[in-house]
């Protein structure tokens, strides 16, 4: 099978959906000729023209608001939010407007829009261009949240997001745009709420999102050399969450580490870990461990920044201790 | 507050002050992209002109010549504060700064508002928009239902003057009679009928059952 970059996969997904459905259009800062700073959207304005690939002013609340209104009245906007950190700027439009229209109208209004943005530290971009804010939006009823972990997921989840009748926030890891993965030539979609077991194993479950799947897979490879078979599970979407697959895996392995690049406190790892503890407690041989980003603003210094995110080495060490029956946190 | 009826083109009132400005402008963007000829009107109060969102969306509406009319009902009060205490300069000048044609009209004058609205809607439909209209009006009641004692921010005399001497329905009624379009008796009958309809609607709502518990998580997501 051909291998393409994650960047190319996103580009193909959007192009295919724009060809299929004339209601789909793209808007955001520097999406047209510039194709975004990451060049993910290059070539789309040439094919679809400046009306369907619309460069906006640097007005995130404004253009996200426009997308909500366009979606409510029959269009299917894909909005580009250049950095995930800018989510704070658009919270009212996303969380008070987009997320609530369907409920507040008794199911009469729908907001079929996609907000594509990114996450990920270690790009030396400092505290305001490095955050992984998926927990903020996953907290809000009415928003769906997708977390592609490779080019394959990025394409299939994006196509599903564009066809969804609800507002969907899709986070791409900005450090993965050049990472290649096998992606079929023929069309496919990846359903929401269907976790994927990336690597089967019997000893411990590593539940990981987005680029943390790579971290988990690297850890699993090392652990295999030590005789520990780790199962790597990618939820693919946080909302809806395929709780059944996660629980089934943990009940089999009896141990779990949850890895996500958002801040650890009050985060995605906490939510998943608590669900596993509530629903699989009597199957567990060890506490479920969260591994998120440190609870500090992302530092600019490379020496410090690298300390803040989960690493394969950290996962290996934790998994080793869990499987050996050591206390992770002494009382 | 939370009234929406898309079947009549009403995209909904918004409980966030200024919260619908993006939605309305997005509706106009959709009309332009889809080649449809509808015009979107965005209603808000003077208080909402203090929200940054308005300046962002007016900029885009003007850049892309969107068929949207921003209708600011200036009732003199931003919640519990006089507008002059929260609004610097002129409100119409803010729209004009974006190259948007702006109008100020007596919002209590039904005929003047109607004439201006017809003209601007027709022009917006022809692609001449966006437009801004400041309608000078008044808020008879409080900012919310519990805002009963209002004397710390405005006098009862002021409220009485607007209700008795400047009410748009009473003024229009006077015009209808003076022009011989309607007789007093007809208007009295119409007023009684409207009061009856309103009373019946209230009675219907009060008698209606509360929703069953199983509806609590209906419509969080669309299928």
Q: Are residues B27 and B104 in the same domain?
A: yes
Of the pLDDT bands very low, low, confident and very high (cuts 50, 70, 90), residue B188 is: very high
**ipTM of the complex, rounded to two decimals:** 0.94
Q: Which residues of A touch B6 (CB under 8 A)?
A: 72, 105, 108-109
Considering only the C-alpha atoms of chain A, give the largest distance between any 2 of them, rounded to a whole number of Å: 62
Q: Which residues of A touch B63 (CB under 8 A)?
A: 57
Q: Which residues of B touch A57 (CB under 8 A)?
A: 56, 59-60, 63
Mean pLDDT of B100-116: 98
Which of A28, A32, A73, A78 is the best mutation test for B, with the most CBs of B within 10 A?
Answer: A73
Distance separating alpha carbons of residues A201 and A197, to the nearest angstrom: 9
Q: Are residues B21 and B79 in the same domain?
A: yes
Q: Which domain holds residue B70?
A: 1-142
Nearest-neighbour CA in chain A from B164: distance (Å)? 37
Q: Which residue has the higher pLDDT, B13 or A156?
A: A156
In which residue ranges of chain A is pLDDT below 70? Answer: 330-331
Domain count, chain B: 2
Distance separating alpha carbons of residues B132 and B61, to the nearest angstrom: 11
* Nearest chain B alpha carbon to A96: B16
- Under an 8 A CB cutoff, do B6 and A105 touch? yes
Q: Which pLDDT value is given to residue B145?
A: 84
Q: Which pLDDT value is given to residue A42?
A: 95
Which of A62, A78, A79, A141 is the best mutation test for B, with the most CBs of B within 10 A?
Answer: A62
Q: Which residues of B touch A110 (CB under 8 A)?
A: 222
Of the pLDDT bands very low, low, confident and very high (cuts 50, 70, 90), residue B17 is: very high
Nearest-neighbour CA in chain A from B135: distance (Å)? 24
For A192, counting Cβ atoms within 10 Å of its Cβ (0-12 exposed, 13-18 middle, 19+ buried), the class is buried
* Within a domain: B192: yes
Nearest-neighbour CA in chain A from B140: distance (Å)? 27
Q: Are residues B133 and B199 in the same domain?
A: no
Q: Are residues B187 and B104 in the same domain?
A: no
CATH number, domain A196-323, options 3.40.50.300, 3.60.20.10, 3.40.50.920, 3.40.50.150 = 3.40.50.920
Q: Which pLDDT value is given to residue A331?
A: 56
* Nearest chain A alpha carbon to B38: A73
Question: A3-182 in CATH: which number?
Answer: 3.40.50.970
Please tell me whether residue B96 adopts helix, strand or coil conformation: helix
* Nearest chain B alpha carbon to A58: B56
Q: Are residues B107 and B12 in the same domain?
A: yes
Q: Are residues B178 and B135 in the same domain?
A: no
Q: Which pLDDT value is given to residue B143?
A: 87
Distance separating alpha carbons of residues B124 and B38, to the nearest angstrom: 9
Q: Are residues B73 and B20 in the same domain?
A: yes
| Nearest partner of A288 among A240, A239, A249, judged by Cα | A249
For B104, counting Cβ atoms within 10 Å of its Cβ (0-12 exposed, 13-18 middle, 19+ buried), the class is middle
Q: Could you give the C-alpha distances from A232 to A83, A161, A298, A308, B6, in angstroms and in order?
A: 28, 24, 26, 22, 46
Spell A50-76 as b/e; 16+ CB within 10 A means b.
Answer: eebbbbbeebbbbbbbbbbbbbbbebb
Mean pLDDT of B66-89: 94
- Under an 8 A CB cutoff, do B221 and A166 touch? yes
In chain A, CATH 3.40.50.920 sits at 196-323
Scanning A187-226 for CB atoms below 8 A from B yields: none
Q: Which pLDDT value is given to residue B148?
A: 85
In chain A, CATH 3.40.50.970 sits at 3-182
Which of B24, B31, B56, B130 is the best mutation test for A, with the most CBs of A within 10 A?
Answer: B56
Q: What is the pLDDT of residues B122-134, one digit of tens each?
A: 999 999 999 999 9
Residue with tokens 């200036």: B74
* Within a domain: B150: no
* Nearest chain A alpha carbon to B21: A65
Q: Which residues of A touch B1 (CB under 8 A)?
A: none
- Give me the active site residues of A, please: 60, 129
Q: What is the pTM of this model?
A: 0.96
Q: Which pLDDT value is given to residue A330?
A: 61
Q: Which residues of A touch B211 (CB under 8 A)?
A: none
Nearest-neighbour CA in chain A from B56: distance (Å)? 5
Computed over every residue of chain B, the mean pLDDT equals 95
The answer, yes or no, to whether residue B211 has pLDDT greater than 70, is yes
């Amino acid at each position: 099978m051909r291998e393409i970059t994650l960047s190319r996969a996103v580009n193909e997904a959007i192009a295919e959906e724009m060809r299929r459905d004339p209601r789909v259009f793209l808007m955001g800062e520097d999406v047209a000729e510039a194709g975004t700073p990451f060049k993910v959207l290059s070539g789309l304005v040439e094919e679809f023209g400046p009306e369907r690939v619309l460069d906006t002013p640097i007005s995130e609340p404004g253009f996200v608001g426009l997308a909500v209104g366009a979606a409510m009245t029959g269009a299917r906007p894909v909005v580009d939010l250049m950095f995930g950190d800018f989510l704070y700027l658009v919270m009212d439009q996303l969380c008070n407007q987009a997320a609530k229209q369907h409920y507040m109208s008794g199911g009469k209004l729908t907001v079929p829009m996609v907000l594509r943005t990114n996450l990920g530290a270690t790009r030396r971009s400092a505290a305001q261009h490095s955050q992984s804010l998926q927990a903020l939006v996953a907290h809000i009823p009415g928003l769906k949240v997708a977390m592609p972990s490779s080019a394959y997921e990025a394409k299939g989840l994006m196509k599903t997001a564009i066809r969804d009748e609800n507002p969907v926030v899709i986070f791409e890891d900005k450090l993965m745009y050049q990472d290649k993965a096998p992606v079929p030539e023929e069309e496919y979609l990846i359903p929401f709420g269907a976790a994927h077991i990336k690597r089967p194993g019997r000893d411990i479950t590593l539940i990981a999102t987005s680029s943390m799947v790579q971290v988990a897979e690297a850890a699993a490879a090392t652990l295999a050399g030590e005789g520990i078979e780790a199962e790597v599970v990618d939820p693919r979407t946080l909302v809806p969450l395929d709780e059944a697959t996660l629980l089934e895996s943990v009940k089999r392995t009896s141990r779990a580490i949850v890895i996500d690049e958002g801040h650890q406190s009050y985060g995605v790892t906490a939510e998943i870990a608590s669900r596993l503890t509530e629903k699989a407690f009597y199957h567990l041989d060890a506490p479920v461990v969260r591994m998120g980003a440190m609870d500090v603003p992302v530092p600019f210094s490379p020496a410090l920044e690298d300390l803040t995110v989960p690493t394969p080495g950290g996962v290996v060490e934790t998994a080793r201790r869990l499987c050996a029956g050591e206390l992770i946190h002494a009382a | 507050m939370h009234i929406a009826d898309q079947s009549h083109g009403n995209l909904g009132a918004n409980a966030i002050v200024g919260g619908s400005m993006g939605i309305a402008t997005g509706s106009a963007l959709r009309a332009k992209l889809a080649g449809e000829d509808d015009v979107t009107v965005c209603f808000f109060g003077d208080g909402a002109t203090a929200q940054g969102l308005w300046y962002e969306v007016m900029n885009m509406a003007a850049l892309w010549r969107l068929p949207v009319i921003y209708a600011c009902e200036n009732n003199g009060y931003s919640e519990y504060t006089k507008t002059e205490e929260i609004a610097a300069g002129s409100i119409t000048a803010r729209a004009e700064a974006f190259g948007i044609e702006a109008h100020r009209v007596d919002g209590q004058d039904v005929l003047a508002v109607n004439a201006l609205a017809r003209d601007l809607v027709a022009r917006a439909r022809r692609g001449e928009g966006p437009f801004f209209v400041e309608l000078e009006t008044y808020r008879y009641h409080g900012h919310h239902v519990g805002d009963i004692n209002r004397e710390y921010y405005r006098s009862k005399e002021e409220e009485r003057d607007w209700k008795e001497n400047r009410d748009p329905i009473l003024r229009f009624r006077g015009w209808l009679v003076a022009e011989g379009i309607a007789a007093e008796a007809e208007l009295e009958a119409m007023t009684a009928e409207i009061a009856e309809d309103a009373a019946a609607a209230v009675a219907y709502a009060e008698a209606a059952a509360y929703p069953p518990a199983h509806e609590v998580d209906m419509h969080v997501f669309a299928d």
